[in-house]
Amino acid sequence: MLSYLTLIFVCQLLGELITGALAIPVPGPVLGMVLLLGFLVLRRQVPEELDRTATGLLGAMSLLFVPAGAGVMMHFRLLGEALVPLGVALILSTVLTILVTGLMMRWLGKGAEE
């Protein structure tokens, strides 16, 4: 477990280094995900230990947003005077984004479905 946790950290660190040095507009961990994907493509399989480590981390992913979420709630007064336009725009825009992306993928992805 420790060896693959190390691999995950190395991928993240490399991701942070590369995105920082080349000023690529994606977060370091996202590039780290691409690097780990590259490793898996080369290995042609997911090592069992890596699978266990990843499943453990991903199973807890919702929990990981709680500290940032609490920070947000403490800054709610920032929303203050613009509460109505922000609230309405956020809700409608998010619903629209989900609908458009989902429907378009269903429509375009039809041919690829088994």
The footprint of another protein on residues 17-46 (CB under 8 A) is: 25-30, 32-37, 39-41, 46
Q: How far is the CB of 20 from another protein (least distance, A)?
A: 12
Cα separation, 9 vs 14, whole angstroms: 9
Count of positions on this chain that bind another protein (CB under 8 A): 76
Which two tokens mark 48? Answer: 């069992």
Q: Give the contacts of 35 (CB within 8 A, at least 6 positions apart).
A: 11, 14, 15
Residue 78 touches another protein, criterion: CB under 8 A: yes
> Binding of another protein at residue 88 (CB under 8 A)?
yes
State the nearest-atom distance from the C-beta of 21 to another protein, in Å. Answer: 16
Question: Cα(98)–Cα(91) distance, rounded to whole angstroms?
Answer: 11
Tell me how far apart the alpha carbons of residues 99 and 105 are, in angstroms, rounded to a whole number. 10
One of 11, 17, 18, 49 touching another protein (CB under 8 A): 11
